[in-house]
Amino acid sequence: MKSYQNSEREGRPPEIADSLRSLNEEIRSCTRCPLAKGRTKAVPGEGPGRADILLVGEAPGRDEDLAGRPFVGRAGSILDRCLIDAGIDRSEVFITNVVKCRPPGNRRPKKDEVEACRPYLKSQIELVQPKVVCLMGNAAAKAVLDVEGVTSLRGQVFRDLLLVTFHPAAVLRNGNLKEALVSDLKAAREKAEGPKALHQK
């Protein structure tokens, strides 16, 4: 996506919460791609309208599809622990996914599904205006930056806004990655809190 540079946060309209609620309702009734037919609930995302940190995952899983909320399953438990270790309160970050409906069998979203949801993610970033967006995993990095290879990209900041890191599900498969994810979340917190000498791309 091309227009994700952070804009001035001062003087933002007070109706931001209403705009997010309207967007959420649009997402919940969306039929732009075939994923709508198999979902239990769409998962727009959640978090405050003025979040300094916005987290982007891949797509809802089974637990998220049932609850209509992001990261409430096993990967969500990992994310919660990593956020705590990084000194971040989950209630103060906005959490969403590239795709808002669960793909069958938790497969990776297809290109047309990503494209169908792209305007929603773009609108969320524009409305929330975070100071840093964490792209968690290859699907998120591919959707937003059109790049893959999270192992080599992680920790790097693109466009002074987009920080690539591992998806919590990767930590489930390989616990050794937890330290890296926590480190990247700490870097996101520090960037959100003020100027920090991060490696820029």
| pLDDT per position as a tens digit, 7-28 | 344 445 568 889 999 999 999 9
Is 5 among the domain residues?
A: no
Q: How many domains does the chain have?
A: 1
Question: What's the pLDDT at 124?
Answer: 98
Residue 37 sits in a domain whose CATH number is 3.40.470.10
Which domain range does residue 134 map to? Answer: 16-193
Query: Distance between CA atoms of 17 and 197, rounded to whole angstroms?
Result: 32
Record the pTM: 0.90
Which carries the bigger pLDDT value, residue 14 or residue 192? 192
Instruction: Quickly state the pLDDT bin for 52 (edges 50, 70, 90).
Output: very high
Is 28 among the domain residues?
A: yes
pLDDT exceeds cutoff 60 at 201: no
How far the first Cα of the chain sits from its last, in Å, is: 16
Is 2 among the domain residues?
A: no
- Name the one residue in this structure whose structure tokens are 């300094």: 52
Is 201 among the domain residues?
A: no
| DSSP code at position 192 | H
**Residues in the chain, how many?**
201
Is 143 among the domain residues?
A: yes
**47 in Cβ contact with 71 (< 8 Å):** no
Question: What's the pLDDT at 195?
Answer: 66
Is 6 among the domain residues?
A: no
| DSSP code at position 135 | E
Query: Distance between CA atoms of 36 and 197, rounded to whole angstroms?
Result: 43
| pLDDT per position as a tens digit, 135-152 | 999 999 999 999 999 999
3-class SS string, 84-120: HHCCCCHHHCEEEECCCCCCHHHCCCCHHHHHHHHHH
Is 65 among the domain residues?
A: yes
140 closest CA partner among 163, 119, 157: 163
Is 1 among the domain residues?
A: no
